Structure 1
Amino acid sequence: MVTPPFILSPDNEIVSSRIVDAAIDLVFEACANPSHLENWWGPAGFTNTFEEFDFRPGGRWKFIMHGPDKGNYQNECIFSEIIYPKLITWDRLSKPLFRMELSLTDIAPGKTKFGFRMIFNTTEECNKIKSFVMDKNEENFDRLEHELETMI
C-alpha cells in the first residue's frame, strides 16, 4: 500500500511534547519494545492487542486499540524511518491517515524531551481531530511516564 504524500505546513500538523524524567535510551526502549509500548500507547483507559510489530523501516505495525467503554479500533502503520535513539517515524495506513514523527531529544542527564508530530495531507483532515487530540496526547504522555517508572 502506498502512503499519501504528506505536505509540510503548520496548518496540517499537530505537535505535542513533554519532558520526561528518564534517559533517552530508556525512552526509546519504551517505544521500540512492544512489551512496553502496548502498556502505554493510547489515551487513558485504552488497552492494545498487537498483531504485528516489525520494528524496522518498511516493517508493519498492526494492532487493535480497545476503548474503555466500547469499541475496538483497528490500526495499521508502516515504519518509514528509525534513527536510534532520536526518531521513529511511521505512516498510518488506517484512517485517519497521517505521518507520525516521534522524536526524542537528550536535554540533560536523565531528562528527555519526547514529542509527537502528526502530519496530515490536508488542513481539513488535521482539523477533524485537532480539537480533542491534544488532550489525548497528554494522556498518552502520562501513560508513558508511568511505564518508564516501571522500567527503572
Structure 2
Amino acid sequence: MSSAEADREIVISRLINAPRELVFEAFTEVRHLSQWWGPAGFSTKTRSFEFRVGGDWDFVMHGPDGTEYQEWITWSEIDPPARIALAHGESRDDPNAFSSVLTFEPAGERTRIVMHTLFPTKELRDEAVQKYHAIEGGEQTLHNLATYVAELTGRDVD
C-alpha cells in the first residue's frame, strides 16, 4: 500500500467468539444486521436490502440524540464466508462514499474480522475520524456484533 493510501485508510479488527460462518451470516442477513449494526446507542432501520454483488442496502441510522443518518451500501464483492467488499455513503451517487473490505479469518473456534476502509481523500478520512468518531464507532459496531453473536451461541463475549 502506498503512503497516500495509508493516509486515507482506517483499519479496525476484532476477535469474535463465534464460528466464521455465523459471523459472516450476521453481517449479510438483514434480520441479523438490524439487531447490532451501528455504534453504541444507535439503531438501524432498513428501507431496502438486497445482498448480492451490485445489490444495495438502503437504511437509516438513528443516533442516541435523535439525529437520523441516511446511509447506503452497495456490495461489490461477496466471497462467503471469507470476504465482502462494499461502497458506503449517504446515497448511491455520493461522491464522498468510502470503500470497505471486510475479511473473516478463522481463528480456532473464533473469527477475526478485519475492516479495511479507504476514503477518497485524506481530508474525508480525517473528517470521519474527528467529526464522526469513525474509529470509536467502528470498534463499538464490532463490539455490538460480538455481543449479538455471543447471545446467539451462548458463548462469552471476548
**What TM-score, normalized to structure 2?**
0.86
Does the alignment pair 1:42 with 2:38? yes
Deviation at 1:76, TM superposition (A): 1.1
Identity between Structure 1 and Structure 2 (%): 33
2:111 is matched with 112
Match among 42, 61, 65 for residue 61 of structure 2: 65
Q: Distance in 2 between matches of 1:139 and 1:124?
A: 23
Mapping of residues 8-27 of structure 1, within 5 Å: 9-27=5-23
Deviation at 1:130, TM superposition (A): 2.1
Stretches of 4+ moved more than 6 A in 1? none
Query: Cα deviations across residues 79-104 of structure 1 (Å, max 9, x unaligned)?
Result: 10000001111112426510021211
**What TM-score, normalized to structure 1?**
0.89
1:141 is matched with 142
- Structure 2: give runs of 5+ residues left out of the alignment: 154-158
Q: Distance in 1 between matches of 2:126 and 2:83?
A: 25
- Structure 1: give runs of 5+ residues left out of the alignment: 1-7
Deviation at 1:150, TM superposition (A): 2.2
Q: Distance in 1 between matches of 2:101 and 2:34?
A: 18
Q: Distance in 1 between matches of 2:89 and 2:76?
A: 12
